[in-house]
Amino acid sequence: MTTFKGKTAIVLGASKRDNMGQVIADRLLKEGATVIVGGRDAAELDRYAAASGAIAVACDITDKADIQKLADAALSQSGRVDIAVNAAGWGYASPFLDMPEDALRTIMDIQFKGAFQFLQVMVGAMQPTGGSIIQISSATATIMTYNYAAYMGTKAGIDHVVRAVANEFGDKGIRVNSISPGLTETPMTQGVFKLPAVVDAFVDCYPLGRIGTSDDIAAATVWLASDECFMTGENLQVNGGLTLRANPTPKQRDAAIRDAQRRAG
């Protein structure tokens, strides 16, 4: 496919094997883009780049100079950045009253300050030709779950920054949107998927009757990044209708586990 032939894309958060960032990068490569992938694990980035044809650049999202290196790598390839996707995140869970200060600082650095700086760098790199910036958010920025207050708050905060940047730079030809998955099987959520009963409790919350996949998010990324997309400043809910309902409560999850244990004898 050649949707993005001649275009250059950046995907940050692609240094875990088969994570959402790598799946998005795979799809952009298949659509013909030159893809620069970034993340903290240089060895995994190099492995992925060798296997896929992407270009690896080690990048810590909390370091603005590192983010600039991603943009510079893209600019050195084609003189422009057409697509920039931030899929970096940290799924840290803690009861609200027990949230450690160091963990709070870290998640804010990754999911708010880092994401804010990603937007700054990519808006700068996309001028004057324009482009599409996509922030991977979360359904939990809209609907509630338990023990993820810091995660939810930082995702919701950067969604509002997305709107501000879209408003300010639309006249420069820069579109900025976010995508909100629900529960998706990735390296970050592997603990949940070891408990089939809990997954079943989530499935019941999805009007479309299944858990979302990274491929679903990659497909939405392709549309948002394409020249056919006339959208900016929006949070695309790519979660099978989960935000029409709610995540299961701890009581519902515990009940599902107990039921599964009884059925197993």
For residue 168, tell me if it sits in a domain.
Answer: yes
Token readout for 154 is 């930082």
Higher pLDDT, 254 or 60: 60
Overall average pLDDT of the 87-98 stretch: 97
The pLDDT assigned to 33 comes to 98
For residue 176, tell me if it sits in a domain.
Answer: yes
224-255 tens-digit pLDDT: 999 999 999 999 999 999 999 999 998 998 88
132-188 tens-digit pLDDT: 999 999 999 999 999 999 999 999 999 999 999 999 999 999 999 999 999 998 988
For residue 259, tell me if it sits in a domain.
Answer: no
Q: Which candidate in 48, 92, 148, 151 is catalytic?
A: 151
44-58 tens-digit pLDDT: 999 999 999 999 999
Least confident stretch, 96-110, 185-199, 222-236: 185-199
The pLDDT assigned to 242 comes to 97
Overall average pLDDT of the 15-20 stretch: 96
Residue 264: is its pLDDT beyond 80? no
Q: How many domains does the chain have?
A: 1
Residue 118: is its pLDDT beyond 70? yes
Instruction: Specify whether 148 is catalytic.
Output: no
Task: For residue 60, name the pLDDT band (cuts at 50, 70, 90).
Answer: very high
For residue 207, tell me if it sits in a domain.
Answer: no
Q: Please say whether the beta carbons of 217 and 245 come within 8 A.
A: no
Candidates 60, 15, 29; CA nearest to 225 is 29
CATH number of the domain enclosing 98? 3.40.50.720
Q: How far is CA 8 from CA 106, 140, 169, 245, in A?
A: 30, 31, 20, 38
* Owning domain of residue 68: 8-184+212-243
Candidates 91, 98, 178; CA nearest to 132 is 178
For residue 106, tell me if it sits in a domain.
Answer: yes
Alpha carbon distance 209, 207 (integer Å): 5
For residue 167, tell me if it sits in a domain.
Answer: yes
For residue 253, tell me if it sits in a domain.
Answer: no
Average pLDDT, the chain: 96
The pLDDT assigned to 265 comes to 65
Overall average pLDDT of the 67-79 stretch: 97
For residue 250, tell me if it sits in a domain.
Answer: no
Q: How far is CA 48 from CA 13, 16, 55, 188, in A?
A: 12, 9, 9, 18
